[in-house]
Amino acid sequence: MRSIILSVFLFGLMGIISCSNQNDLAYTQRVMQHRAAVTYKFLDPKTTPLTQAKLADFKGLPYYEVNKNYLVEATFNPSGGQTIFAMPHTLNRAYEYIEAGTLSFQLNGKNLQLMSYLRKGEMADSVELFIPFTDLTGGKTTYGGGRYLDVKATLSVKKVWVDFNMAYNPYCAYNVDFSCPIPPKQNHLPVAIEAGEMYKADY
């Protein structure tokens, strides 16, 4: 099964590369390589969120086609690392995060904003921002509970690249035993983000 799924990824990669111009080639390769790595993680019984029964039927994750228009440069307005936010999780849980700051950007002609978070205790200058969000594709082509982004950033820098092609589903989308962050209302985007990981309810 592993070799079949990898072949599908490589075939898809070749098709996308043939249609991409030279400037986008390296970018497309990076996204596809990342998706292949995620697939391996799902196939590995030690790291997969899937139950044994679901793993036996796993045929790979669905994705939107790579679209560089969903790679946007955002202005980062830091919060100063003082605000603690108890983010609700599934399974009636909540965990503390730090509000890192807002990311303001334009996408498809609209001005948008997302709040980014840090896991509590992660306050170095170079960090990985956690961005849970929902959009108008939720419950249709993507998971209704929202998706996530992990964005590497330097807190002292005002510009951050946000890549929605890297958006992914929480593990609770595939296994209800996982407790996952629920995107706060301020991160409900009033647009359709047709990029990143899609969702099929039969997983």
**Per residue in 148-189, pLDDT tens?**
999 998 888 899 999 999 999 999 999 999 999 999 999 999
Question: Helix/strand/coil (H, E, C) string of 42-89?
Answer: HHCCCCCCCCHHHHHCCCCCCECCCCHHHEEEEEEEECCCCCEEEEEE
Q: What is the pLDDT of residue 17?
A: 47
Which is more confidently placed, 19 or 186?
Answer: 186
**DSSP at 138:** B
Backbone angles phi, psi at 31, to 5 degrees: -65, -45
Strands 147-154 and 126-133: antiparallel
pTM value is: 0.85
Q: What is the pLDDT of residue 67?
A: 96
7 — pLDDT class (breaks 50, 70, 90): low
Which is more confidently placed, 18 or 121?
Answer: 121
Ordered by start, the domain boundaries in the chain are 2-56, 68-187
Q: Convert the pLDDT of each residue in 78-88 to its tens digit.
A: 887 678 999 99
Which is more confidently placed, 155 or 38?
Answer: 38
